[in-house]
Amino acid sequence: MPAKMWPDYAKFPTIVSPNLKFIAMRLVLILLIVPMLSSAQGHLSHTHWAIFFRSPLSEDGRMTVLRQCGVPADASVEHFSQRAVSVVPVDAVDRGQLVAHDAARHVAPFYSTPEGEFVTYHSSFFVKLRPGQALREVETLAGRLGLRIIGPDRFLPRIIKLDTDKHGVTAIEAVEVFRASGLFDLVAPNLMHTVADCSVNDPLFNRQWNLHNDGTPTQGNGTEGADMDVLAAWDITTGSPDIRIAILDSGVDTLHPDLVGKLRPGFDAMADPDSAGTMGYPTPTYSQDGHGTACAGIAAASGDNGIGIAGVCRDCSIIPIRVFSYQDLGGQIQPFSDTESFMRGISWQWQVGGADVSSNSWGVPDFLLAFFPGGDLMVNETIDAATSQGRNGKGLSMLFSSGNDGVTDSIPIWPGRYVNTVAVNATSMCDERKSPSSCDGENWAGNWGNHLDCGAPGVRIPTTDMLGSNGFNSTSYYNSFNGTSAACPNAAGVMGLLLSAHPDLNRANAERHLLSSAEKVGGYAYGQWKQHGHWSNELGYGRINAHLALQSAATVGLEEESALGYALLVRTFSDRHEVVPNDSRPVRWELMDMGGRTVDSGVSAVAITVAHAGLSSGLYALRLDGPTGHAVIKLLVSKH
């Protein structure tokens, strides 16, 4: 198919002279938007103006421009180091003076909380065309509003990027006009906002109980066996360098001795499209910049090399992708990013990087999403494409942290709760949902409830840190990485092991094995039945178990079948399984382990009870032979 030829948008008119119709339309937009902002505002307030400069000026250069606009020398001005953006208190300058200056490309309201969380918007926004839709409707509306069409997204060409002019309608106003037209699949702003990096800091000890928990004091007096059973999984596979785990985060220290040699080419999604940026390396400005390096180490640090730690999938490869960074705003170090950076990173990981697993220890708080509705739509589009088309059509599994706001806000934050992602909560070393009352004694909680998929260790996890004085510690390792930020790469590492042993699994089957084999720990009521089995609010399908996931996938050739001529009801309890045939005639049954050995057998005309006592944890096959046929059922025994 020939490449699509796009018009020369540099020749497209950038401004349409205002007229009465235009002014009336803008007044209507303001009336529509202001109530929306007020209702979503919560504890956000319009504290500053965000000035987006045309070129990356130094801080002194920016201050020169701001003083020319009337900003007092003593005004509390903040400068973003990773963006050509400065923020000025609203009472320190008149917006009109900022807009009038040639150095200012865009001026937008900057809404923030006392804790430093913020949201603002770029001058650009996105429109997704309907299948087969021509560009004519976009050109028509753009011409009426005085917009510039930048062109199609590099990875998803039906998504068109447009830019506003600072003297015309704002991006938020333009979004409303395009949405109201009803002509397009989706319309969304290009937001810039803080990110929940899903980590907390409370260092206490340095043992990898997530891999093998012995319950000793050096591991926090946890519960023996309350781990992901990784040592047993390593008897099957330690991972394959052909399996690539993408770490979408703040960047990864590509020089770390426990990571070097397994790193594939990276990507800086926050860089200008015409620049290579950091190639996935962090910007070592704040200690929090070590976040991505810590996540990478948990998932796939080298093992059996005589130094440091071992990652869960210790022989898998790592793709470092920077999708957020950190900024000091009034003494608060905040992670931040924007819509387009997430879109670029998520698309690049599979279209260019060839990722097999995607680990994302970040999310966006609900109150920020609610402030400018639709800010998640285009990112969801890129997630949909990755999860359906990645891995050469087998689909890419994208795992996300559920969030650390479980004390005040329960359900997983976006994108973890999105339908095509896997949301991972944190567990303690006592196999509990992480909460202020869990055995570790730390005062935080992972998000839980509807849309949660599973749990994984997320308290005091030893991992890699940035080299030298950068990162969390002055050494190359950090002994107590916390939060659902730690839980997500633990689960991603297990997915890496699963695909290393079974690379032909598609996303749906890989996630089925990962989640259906999770252990039902914590004493919670796994009373709801969902897609992958019994489910609880606290830990979803349960705490991930690497060994059981591999065993589950190893039985992929053992299909559950039923030719008995009548239905079977299977009930799962913590200490037994019950299989109830819908027939009164006797059935001969045989329970076999995955080695094909018979461990129990009998004849029954009523419910068949498979007691877990005396059985090892793992998968078993129950064969039933009746007077009219046979059936084979897989049963998972999970216990400590």
pLDDT tens across 274-295, in order?
777 889 998 888 899 999 999 9
What is the Cα gyration radius of the chain? 27
Residues across the chain = 640
Q: How confident is residue 574, by pLDDT bands cut at 50, 70 and 90?
A: low
Q: How confident is residue 152, by pLDDT bands cut at 50, 70 and 90?
A: very high
**Does the pLDDT of residue 629 top 60, yes or no?**
yes
pLDDT digits (tens, 9 = 90+) for 198-247: 654 323 234 677 887 777 776 666 788 888 999 989 999 999 999 999 99
For residue 550, give the 3-state DSSP assignment.
helix
Amino acid at 115: E
Q: Does domain 557-637 have CATH number 2.60.40.3080?
A: yes
What is the CB neighbour count within 10 angstroms for residue 95?
A: 15
Q: What is the pLDDT of residue 564?
A: 67
Amino acid at 416: G
Q: What is the mean pLDDT of residues 307-328?
A: 95
**Does the pLDDT of residue 32 top 90, yes or no?**
no
Of residues 26 and 150, more confidently modeled = 150
Closest CA to 424 of 406, 447, 440, 397: 447
Burial (CB count within 10 angstroms: exposed 0-12, middle 13-18, buried 19+), residue 14: middle
Share of the chain above pLDDT 70, in %: 88
**Does the pLDDT of residue 4 top 50, yes or no?**
no
What superfamily in CATH does domain 217-553 come from? Peptidase S8/S53 domain (3.40.50.200)
Least confident of 206-220, 308-322, 411-425, 626-640: 206-220
Q: What is the pLDDT of residue 583?
A: 78
Q: How confident is residue 305, by pLDDT bands cut at 50, 70 and 90?
A: confident
**Does the pLDDT of residue 73 top 70, yes or no?**
yes
Residues 119-144 as b or e (16 or more Cβ within 10 Å = b) = bbbbbbbbbbbeeeeebebbeebbee
Q: What is the pLDDT of residue 581?
A: 77
Tell me the Ramachandran region of residue 229: left when phi exceeds 0, alpha when psi lies from -120 to 50, beta otherwise: left
Amino acid at 498: L
Q: What is the pLDDT of residue 560?
A: 44
Q: Which two tokens stand for residue 399?
A: 């795992």
pLDDT digits (tens, 9 = 90+) for 80-122: 988 999 999 999 999 999 999 999 999 999 999 988 999 999 9
Question: What whole-number distance in Å separates Cα of residue 257 and Cα of residue 309?
Answer: 11
Q: What is the mean pLDDT of residues 354-365?
A: 96
Question: What whole-number distance in Å separates Cα of residue 222 and Cα of residue 82?
Answer: 42
Closest CA to 292 of 272, 316, 314, 263: 263
For residue 123, give the 3-state DSSP assignment.
strand
Closest CA to 569 of 554, 557, 580: 580
Domain locations along the chain = 9-194, 217-553, 557-637
Tell me the Ramachandran region of residue 586: left when phi exceeds 0, alpha when psi lies from -120 to 50, beta otherwise: beta
Q: What is the pLDDT of residue 64?
A: 95
Q: What is the pLDDT of residue 553?
A: 83
Q: What is the pLDDT of residue 9?
A: 35
pLDDT digits (tens, 9 = 90+) for 397-428: 999 999 998 877 689 999 999 999 999 999 99
Residues 205-218 as b or e (16 or more Cβ within 10 Å = b) = ebbbbbbbbebeee
Q: What is the pLDDT of residue 436?
A: 93
Question: What whole-number distance in Å separates Cα of residue 607 and Cα of residue 624?
Answer: 12
Of residues 354 and 43, more confidently modeled = 354
Which residues sit opposite 590 in a β-bridge? 601, 623
CB 403 within 8 A of CB 412: yes
Q: What is the mean pLDDT of residues 589-598?
A: 83
Least confident of 375-384, 528-537, 613-622: 613-622
Which of the given ranges, 78-87, 382-391, 608-617, has the highest pLDDT on average? 382-391
Q: What is the pLDDT of residue 226?
A: 83
Q: Which helix (H) or strand (E) holds 332?
A: strand 332-338
Q: What is the mean pLDDT of residues 353-377?
A: 93
For residue 417, give the 3-state DSSP assignment.
coil
312 DSSP 8-state letter: T
Helices and strands, counts by H and E, the chain:
13, 29
Look up the pTM and report it. 0.82
pLDDT digits (tens, 9 = 90+) for 504-556: 999 999 999 999 889 999 999 998 888 888 899 999 999 999 998 998 887 54
Residues 504-529 as b or e (16 or more Cβ within 10 Å = b) = ebebebbbbbbbbbbbbbbebebeee
For residue 120, give the 3-state DSSP assignment.
strand
Alpha-carbon dihedral sign for residues 220, 223, 228, 229: positive
Q: How confident is residue 314, by pLDDT bands cut at 50, 70 and 90?
A: very high
Burial (CB count within 10 angstroms: exposed 0-12, middle 13-18, buried 19+), residue 284: middle
**Does the pLDDT of residue 358 top 70, yes or no?**
yes
Q: What is the mean pLDDT of residues 447-457?
A: 96
Q: Which helix (H) or strand (E) holds 143?
A: helix 136-145
Q: What is the mean pLDDT of residues 143-158?
A: 96
**Does the pLDDT of residue 352 top 80, yes or no?**
yes
Average of per-residue pLDDT values in the chain: 86
CB 106 within 8 A of CB 166: yes
What is the CB neighbour count within 10 angstroms for residue 77?
A: 21
For residue 139, give the 3-state DSSP assignment.
helix
What is the CB neighbour count within 10 angstroms for residue 176?
A: 22
CB 469 within 8 A of CB 290: no
Share of the chain above pLDDT 90, in %: 62
**Does the pLDDT of residue 14 top 50, yes or no?**
no
CB 15 within 8 A of CB 146: yes
Amino acid at 52: F
